[in-house]
Chain A
Amino acid sequence: MLKGRVWKFGDDVDTDVIIPAKYLRSVDQTIWPKHVLEGLDPSFSSRVKPGDIIVAGKNFGCGSSREQAALAIKWAGVAAVVAESFARIFFRNAINNGLPLVECRGVSKAVEEGEVIEVDLDRSEVRTKKETLRSVPLPPFLQEIVNSGGLVEYYKAKKKVH
């Protein structure tokens, strides 16, 4: 169970605002979390605390396939992203890197900026100060990748060849 303070964002948060391309070509990967979500809130990276939770509208992570978008959010200490829906490549990248994503209809209206919510991955619930919302459980196949700790670990455990 995750419990954390909420940062709210709107619909269609794209990977260019999560991490602009100008920071991607860097040998030093530690710069990515320092610029996370800079396109929407330049002060976010300095104010976000480990364990905080991002709550957003529909189509979170749309745009480019840059995996640095998921990594920047994770390395900034964000415990989970809860959104109305996710763009598919970002969704895969987050699963592959062990960043918990929770698809939850109605969450953007039910939650206020700064409130503390509980995200219960086992029970597929998001608990706000007002109500408990059902979230969409991960399909068992993806849960297996998450349980392995990401796709790299999943590969090491299985070493399947096609």
Chain B
Amino acid sequence: MGSTAVEKIISRSAGRSVQVGEFVEVPVDFAYFHDGTGPLIVDALAKMGVEKIIDPDRVGIVFDHSVPPFNDQAATLQAKVRKFARAQGISRFHDLGEGICHQVIPEKGYVSPGTIVIGADSHSCTLGCFGLFSSGVGATDLAYILATGGTWLKVPETLKVECMGALKGKVSSKDLILEIVKMVGTDGATYKALEFCGEAVRQMSQSSRMTMSNMAVEMGAKTGFMEADSKTFEFLGRTGPVFRTDSPVETMAVDAGSLDPKVACPGSVANVKSVSEVEGTPIDQAFLGSCTNGRYEDLFEAAKIIKGKKVHRDTRFIVIAASKAIQLEAQRNGLMDIFQEAGAIIGVTGCGPCLGVHMGVLGENEVCVSTSNRNFIGRMGHPKSLVYLASAQTVAASAAEGKITDPRRFA
């Protein structure tokens, strides 16, 4: 009969065999949050009457949303969370300038395959690609974990997506996941665990895998699971039990080998078209960064395209690394020089303009092509601004041309 990888992980944590559809209360191995959700977590703990959290060594905090704070209110709220972190003795606290939580937590090796990880951010599903169960919750749920060490879960069904063939040329895992969002829809995986597998997933880097799992929530999923392998262990600097799905589950297939570059058009992440269908759409801003595509390989691929060229005069190109470690590596290897010489603006590591509050907020009727994960109405600024989501390669090519451009046009 067998069971799914996610069932096995939850069973391990629960200390008994659990099945799909069951409500369980389970210990959480690691919980994390950021400066955006932190203030309400601190408030909820105060309302609960919790003076000491249960285990400060199973908690990570990364300030990434307002880096540095863009107004006095953001600064005041950060100070509240900073004070909390110090009072609770949370050593895995990363203040401003360390990077985005979903990047920093695995980079520091705080999580292990086979465990349950919960983050107070919807993109906590990203960490599922490390062979673990990771999901996002709100502030009160996270406070409950800090107070008790556990949370409640409904054991999710698994929807497997088999990615056949290997990605080719300037087609990346972002194009692949956009194609999958188009197939599954914005709610096609609600309450389910997505599991990405197949040749394309096995062959791609751990960073490319993170891009895919990151967008699981855009289909309503609880997590974006992938089996752990040697690349996973190398990234984390640690190993852990490898869990595999060995029961029959709903499966869909996508041919990664025949994909062309994709773009999610404004208003819905599932509004996915080939770049060739919208090529030539003028843009005001191009953004390379975020927890979806701010990793070294993204900067590297984008730099290859923009090297020796100039950002189009009608476009601003904003480049933000997903962590300080990435930023430093990119600096050492000359990538930041390439971007700046081309006319790009380098921002401080963090979430940047993705959430529409600073560092590249869009004005009325402005158009942005972005490597981030959401293109909802008003997401990056004015309600009448428009966001196209694409790969690092497509964003770099578009920045050079001042319009949405197929990166395959560049050598």
Contacts and interface: CB of A to CB of B under 8 A. Distances in A.
Real binding pair: yes
Nearest to B21: A139
B378 A20 contact: yes
A21 B65 CA distance: 10
Interface in B5-56: 23, 25-28, 36-37, 40, 44, 47-49, 54
Interface size on A, as a range, is: 35 or more
A150 B138 CA distance: 13
A58 B187 contact: yes
B284 to A, nearest CB: 19
B25 A162 contact: yes
A59 B143 CA distance: 25
B268 interface: yes
A112 interface: no
B121 A65 contact: yes
Interface string A131-162: 00000000101100000001110011001111
Contacts of A92: 137-138, 141
Q: Which one of A28, A152, A156, A159 has the highest number of Cβ atoms from chain B below 10 Å of its Cβ? A: A152
Contacts of A16: 356, 374, 376-379
Q: Which one of B28, B357, B378 has the highest number of Cβ atoms from chain A below 10 Å of its Cβ? A: B378
Contacts of B140: 67, 93, 96-97, 150-152
Q: Which one of A58, A66, A87, A162 has the highest number of Cβ atoms from chain B below 10 Å of its Cβ? A: A162
B138 A62 contact: no
A64 B378 CA distance: 13
Q: Which one of A25, A27, A64 has the highest number of Cβ atoms from chain B below 10 Å of its Cβ? A: A25
A143 B77 CA distance: 33
B112 to A, nearest CB: 18
B286 interface: no
Contacts, number: 139
Contacts of B139: 65, 67, 93
Interface stretch (B126-134, B147-155, B200-208, B318-326): B147-155
Nearest to A65: B122
B23 A141 contact: yes
Interface in A35-86: 39-40, 58-59, 62-68, 70, 85
A85 B377 contact: no
Interface in A13-29: 14, 16-17, 20-22, 24-28
B335 to A, nearest CB: 29
A17 B376 contact: yes
Given A20-B356, A59-B186, A162 B378 contact: no
Nearest to A67: B138
Interface in B218-244: 220, 222
A124 B220 CA distance: 24
24 contacts: A12-B187, A16-B378, A17-B377, A20-B356, A21-B36, A21-B355, A21-B356, A21-B357, A22-B357, A25-B77, A39-B383, A59-B220, A63-B122, A65-B120, A65-B138, A66-B36, A88-B222, A96-B138, A139-B154, A151-B44, A152-B140, A155-B148, A161-B54, A161-B148
Given A25-B73, A62-B220, A155-B147, 11 more contacts: A16-B377, A24-B36, A27-B76, A27-B77, A39-B378, A59-B190, A67-B40, A67-B138, A87-B190, A89-B217, A93-B139
